[in-house]
Amino acid sequence: MSGLLDGFTFPGIPARVVFGAGTLGQVADEVRRLGRARALVLSTRNQAEDAEALAKSLGGLAAATFSDAEMHTPVDVTERAVAAYGEAGADCVVSLGGGSTIGLGKAIATRRGADQIAIPTTYAGSEMTDILGETAEGHKTTRRDASIRPETVVYDVDLTLGLPAQMTVTSSLNAIAHGIEALYAPDANPVTSLMAVDGIRAFRDGLPAVAQTPGDRIARARVLYGAWLCSVSLGYTTMSLHHKLAHVLGGSFGTPHAETHAILLPHTVGFNAAGTDRLAEVAEIFGGTVGGGLWDFAKDLGAPLRLSALGLTESDLDRAAGIAVQNSYANPRPLEEDDIRALLQAAWEGARPD
Ligand code: NAD
């Protein structure tokens, strides 16, 4: 608590959150609550049937569906979605899916001022954030602005029961990464830290049961609750080395989002643990050292452990380490290119961090 003398800023958490099982049935009320009457319902192609079913249940409140959302929010897809929004005479978006679909909702909102209702079906955590990453001509740019954040988030445990086992684990580790980096963020405050620790603990408690029995609703609820808390942590603080490295690998080498986070996490935060005293609770939650404890937790869940399995070569690691130190940013430990290269090598080989 001595850190209180240094002061902090708590920015408030404006989004409305509806959490529970069967809450999808409350989306119509939430559209009306925003004073809207014609929703464009968004999804990826994989979840098109769910989006159609939701639109049907919304009746006249659904103007149309658009089911072409893709990873990393390509601008050409957004342009088609914005056209669909205009043609349908929509006045808000309902984004049903993971970070890709929620990203598309944010991209439409920034262009058309649309209110957003996000209904997350993974644990990636875009729904509570003011962050939008968009891709054009192979280049991803990310920006933050309060107007990007969805007005309402509906968490329905039942929508997560069918999330495939591997994605459940990698998406959860992606969420835990938000919580951990929020703890040592330069703009951390006591509320985001409380939420981050409780969120990380919820994953530790719920995830092993979910991995064993994906349809366990009580364990799924605990994990989704953790996802909400970690999403808040991401949305109200500034991320460091872990998220920067994941961004470099995803952006410059096309590695898949959740797997990249899952593999890097024990290595990046294990490295940073030596530079901060703010990860003591994380070490306690997972047992042992921060890096070792997390690596054991991930391994027991059957998570991917090797960057080499994502198609990266050792020369890619040289280039990635160089890109990662091009711009400076806040991090608990100074970042030397050699250290980053060694960290990437360990993650590439799947070695257990000390
Ligand atoms: P995703 O949204 O791309 O989903 C992956 C696949 O799983 C899709 O085909 C999707 O339809 C399917 N899926 C999702 N939920 C399912 C369910 N319950 N059952 C069955 N299938 C389901 O993956 P993601 O990891 O959630 O999101 C990754 C994207 O989100 C990346 O582009 C990343 O940059 C972005 N992201 C952004 C933020 C932010 O704050 N802006 C935060 C986290 C992630």
Same domain, 194 and 96: no
Q: Same structural domain for residues 252 and 122?
A: no
User: Does the Cβ of 150 fall within 6 Å of ligand 1?
Assistant: no
- With a 6 Å cutoff on the Cβ, whether 255 touches ligand 1 is no
Say which CATH number the domain at 35 has: 3.40.50.1970
Cα(131)–Cα(26) distance, rounded to whole angstroms? 26
Q: 118 with 196, same domain?
A: no
Looking at the domain assignment, is residue 40 inside a domain?
Answer: yes
Last-in-domain residue among 160, 182, 200? 160
Task: Give, for 42, the enclosing helix (H) or strand (E).
Answer: strand 39-42
Among candidate residues 142, 160, 178, the one where a domain is terminated: 160
User: Distance between CA 135 and CA 139 in Å, rounded?
Assistant: 5
Q: Is the CB of 177 within 6 Å of ligand 1?
A: no
Query: CB within 8 A of 76, min separation 6: which ones?
Result: 136
Residue 92 DSSP label:
E
Please give the residue that has the higher pLDDT: either 42 or 354.
Answer: 42
Domain count of the chain? 2
Q: Which residue has the higher pLDDT, 259 or 139?
A: 259
Task: Give the pLDDT band of residue 197 (cuts 50, 70, 90).
Answer: very high
Q: What is the CATH number of the domain that holds 239?
A: 1.20.1090.10
Is 128's C-beta closer than 6 angstroms to any atom of ligand 1?
Answer: no
Residues 276/323, Cβ–Cβ less than 8 Å:
no
CA distance 167 to 124: 10
Which of ligand 1's atoms lies nearest the C-alpha of 46?
Answer: 11
29: containing domain? 16-160
Whole-number Å distance, alpha carbon 103 to ligand 1 midpoint, is 9
pLDDT, mean over the chain:
97
Q: Based on the domain organization, do 199 and 251 belong to the same domain?
A: yes
Contact assessment for residue 329 and residue 240, using Cβ atoms and an 8 Å cutoff = yes
Question: Does residue 1 register a pLDDT over 60?
Answer: no
Claim to verify: residue 145 and residue 208 sit in the same structural domain: no
Residues 267, 333 within the same domain: yes
Q: What is the pLDDT of residues 131-169, one digit of tens each?
A: 999 999 878 899 999 999 999 999 999 999 999 999 999
Residues 22 and 81 in one domain: yes
Question: Which of 111, 144, 160 is the C-terminal boundary of a domain?
Answer: 160
Model confidence at 191, pLDDT cuts 50, 70, 90, reads: very high
Q: Give all strands of the β-sheet with 92-97 in edge-to-edge order.
A: 16-20, 152-156, 115-120, 92-97, 39-42, 62-66
**Model pLDDT, residue 139:** 82
User: Is residue 2 very low, low, confident or very high in pLDDT (cuts 50, 70, 90)?
Assistant: low
pLDDT tens-digit map of 216-240: 999 999 999 999 999 999 999 999 9
**DSSP annotation of 308:** G
Q: Mapping DSSP to helix (H, G, I), strand (E, B) and coil, where does residue 22 land?
A: coil
Q: Closest by alpha carbon to 86, among 51, 111, 104, 61? A: 111
> What's the average model confidence in pLDDT over 13-23?
97
Q: How far is CA 352 from the centre of its chain?
A: 24
